[in-house]
C-alpha cells in the first residue's frame, strides 16, 4: 500500500515510533514490556515485530488489546492514536495469518503452568504416605511434615497452572488440611483444628472433590468441643456424600458416637447399623491404618464408646472382645485404637465395680511412650478417674492405686499447647516413617502389634 493511502492511525503509529528513534524490533519490545506490566501474555518479540510492520502499513486492524498496549508503551491515549481511524483495508491472507498468531498466543497462555505431572504425582504420593504413617509416627513430628507439604502445595496454587491442575492441587491440599486437622486435634488445639477443617472443605468444594474427609475431621473436632448434635450432623453429611470406602463406615461410626454423647441412643444405634451395613458391602481397597480407615477393631471401639455413653458396660465388653477377635484374625493393628479399647474395657469393669479386671486391662497400655499418648487415649483415663472418684470407691486401695497410675500416665503425656488434659472433654476415638533405623528400633513392640492376652 502506498504511503499516502495508509489510514491515519497507521501513519500515527509509524510517526510515533520514528519520533522516538525506535526500530520496529524496539517497538515490539516496548509493547511486550507494557504487556508484562499489565499481566498480559504476548508472543515472542520477533512475532510482535511482524504485527508492527503490518499495522504501520495499514493492512491489518489493531486489536483492542494491542491498542491499549500501544497507548501504554507510547505514554499517550488510545484516542490520540486511533480516533481518526476508519476501517482499514484488509489483506485477507495476512489477516487470517494474524488470527492464527492470536490463536497460537492464546494456546500458549493456556498451557503456561508452574507445576508438571511429575510434581503432582510426587505431592500426591507424599500425601498418601503421610496418611499411611498416621498410626506410626508421633503427632507433632507427623504434623510438621503434613504442614510442610501443605505449604508447598499452597505456594503452587498461588501461581499459574492449567484449570485441571488447579483442581488437582485444591483436592490434594484439602486432603492435607483435613489430615492436619486430625493431628492438631490430637494435640488439643481444637480452634485451630476447626479452622483447618473448614478450609479443607472449602478447597474440596472448589475442586469438585468429595468433602467427606474434611467433614470427618470437622465432626471429630466439633465432638471434642462438646457440640455433640452438630458433630453428629456433620458426620451424617459426610456419610451421605462419601464414596464407598472405609471412610463412609467411619463417618457412620462418628455419627453414632456423637449421637450417644448427645443422649440420642436411638440415633446412635441406627448409625451403628449403617456402619455395619456399609462395612459388609463392597469397599475400595484400604490399608486400614490411615486416619480415614475403619477396620473391624475400630468399628468395635466406636460400639464400645456408644455402650459406655448409654450405660451398658456388658455391651462395651462384648465390643472389646470383637476388637480383639479382629486383631487375632489379622486385621491391621493401630496402637491408638488398641489403647482406647483397653482403657474403654477398663472403664466398663469399673462400672461393674470390678477393679481387679480394670487394672489388668490398663497394665499393657501404661508402657506407651509419652509422645504416643494422644489426647484420644489420655481422656479415657480422665473419664475413668471421674468414675473412680465415686463415693462407692472411697477408701478402696485398688481405686487409689489406679488413680495414681492415671495421674502418672497423663502427667507424662505430651503436653497440650492450649489447655491441660484435665480440662479437655472426653475424647474417643512419612514420606514419613521414623527418620532412621534407630528411631524405629526404639519403639516398643506394642506400637507394632498388640501384646498377647
Cell output for 364: 499393657
Specify the 3-state DSSP secondary structure of 242.
Answer: coil
Give the model's pLDDT for residue 43: 85
Torsion of CA 205, 207, 210, 215, to 10 degrees: -40
Q: Which helix (H) or strand (E) holds 50?
A: helix 45-57
In the chain, residues under CATH classification 1.10.260.40 are 3-111
In degrees rounded to 5, what are phi and psi of residue 273?
A: -65, -40
Q: How far is CA 315 from CA 14, 172, 309, 320, in A?
A: 91, 40, 11, 9
Give the model's pLDDT for residue 428: 41
pLDDT along the chain (453 residues), means of 10: 72 91 92 78 86 88 88 88 58 53 65 84 93 87 94 93 93 97 90 96 96 96 94 96 93 96 96 93 79 93 95 96 94 89 97 96 92 85 94 94 95 59 35 29 47 51
Kindly state which CATH superfamily the domain 3-111 is placed in. lambda repressor-like DNA-binding domains (1.10.260.40)
Q: Count other Cβ atoms within 10 Å, centred on residue 52.
A: 24
pTM of the full structure: 0.67
Is residue 240 within 8 Å of residue 205, measured between CB atoms? no
Is residue 54 within 8 Å of residue 66, measured between CB atoms? no
**Exposed e or buried b for every residue in 424-445, given b needs 16+ CB within 10 A?**
bbbbbbbebebeeeeeeeebee
Give the model's pLDDT for residue 335: 86
Amino acid at each position: 500500500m502506498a504511503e499516502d493511502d495508509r489510514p491515519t492511525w497507521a501513519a500515527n503509529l509509524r510517526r510515533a515510533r520514528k519520533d522516538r528513534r525506535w526500530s520496529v524490533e524496539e517497538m515490539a519490545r516496548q509493547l511486550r514490556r507494557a504487556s508484562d506490566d499489565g499481566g498480559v501474555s504476548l508472543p515472542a518479540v520477533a512475532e510482535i515485530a511482524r504485527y508492527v510492520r503490518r499495522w504501520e502499513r495499514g493492512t491489518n486492524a489493531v486489536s483492542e488489546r494491542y491498542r491499549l498496549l500501544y497507548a501504554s508503551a507510547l505514554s499517550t491515549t488510545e484516542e490520540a492514536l486511533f480516533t481518526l481511524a476508519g476501517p482499514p483495508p484488509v489483506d485477507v491472507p495476512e489477516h487470517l495469518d494474524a488470527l492464527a498468531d492470536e490463536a497460537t498466543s492464546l494456546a500458549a497462555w493456556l498451557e503456561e503452568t508452574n507445576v508438571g505431572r511429575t510434581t503432582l504425582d510426587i505431592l500426591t504420593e507424599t500425601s498418601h504416605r503421610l496418611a499411611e504413617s498416621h498410626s506410626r509416627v508421633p503427632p507433632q513430628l507427623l504434623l510438621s511434615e503434613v504442614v510442610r507439604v501443605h505449604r508447598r502445595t499452597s505456594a503452587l496454587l498461588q501461581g499459574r497452572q492449567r484449570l485441571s491442575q488447579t483442581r488437582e492441587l485444591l483436592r490434594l491440599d484439602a486432603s492435607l488440611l483435613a489430615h492436619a486437622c486430625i493431628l492438631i486435634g490430637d494435640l488439643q488445639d481444637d480452634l485451630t483444628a476447626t479452622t483447618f477443617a473448614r478450609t479443607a472443605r472449602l478447597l474440596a468444594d472448589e475442586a469438585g472433590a468429595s468433602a467427606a474427609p474434611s467433614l470427618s475431621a470437622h465432626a471429630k473436632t466439633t465432638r471434642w468441643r462438646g457440640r455433640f448434635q452438630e458433630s453428629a450432623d456433620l458426620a451424617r453429611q459426610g456419610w451421605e456424600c462419601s464414596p464407598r470406602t472405609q471412610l463412609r463406615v467411619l463417618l457412620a461410626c462418628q455419627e453414632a458416637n456423637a449421637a450417644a454423647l448427645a443422649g440420642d441412643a436411638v440415633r446412635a444405634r441406627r448409625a451403628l447399623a449403617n456402619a455395619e451395613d456399609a462395612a459388609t458391602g463392597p469397599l475400595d481397597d484400604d490399608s486400614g491404618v490411615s486416619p480415614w480407615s475403619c477396620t473391624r477393631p475400630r468399628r468395635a471401639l466406636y460400639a464400645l464408646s456408644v455402650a459406655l455413653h448409654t450405660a451398658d458396660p456388658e455391651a462395651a465388653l462384648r465390643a472389646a472382645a470383637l476388637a480383639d477377635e479382629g486383631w487375632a484374625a489379622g486385621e491391621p493393628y493401630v496402637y491408638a485404637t488398641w489403647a482406647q479399647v483397653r482403657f474403654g474395657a477398663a472403664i466398663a469393669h469399673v462400672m461393674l465395680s470390678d477393679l481387679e479386671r480394670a487394672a489388668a486391662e490398663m497394665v499393657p497400655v501404661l508402657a506407651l511412650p509419652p509422645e504416643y499418648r494422644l489426647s484420644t487415649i489420655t481422656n479415657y483415663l480422665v473419664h475413668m478417674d471421674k468414675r473412680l472418684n465415686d463415693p462407692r470407691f472411697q477408701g478402696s486401695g485398688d481405686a487409689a492405686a489406679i488413680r495414681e497410675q492415671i495421674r502418672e500416665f497423663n502427667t507424662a503425656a505430651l503436653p497440650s499447647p492450649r489447655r491441660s488434659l484435665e480440662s479437655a472433654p472426653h475424647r474417643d476415638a512419612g514420606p514419613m516413617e521414623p527418620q532412621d533405623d534407630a528411631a524405629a528400633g526404639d519403639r516398643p513392640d506394642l506400637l507394632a502389634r498388640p501384646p498377647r492376652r
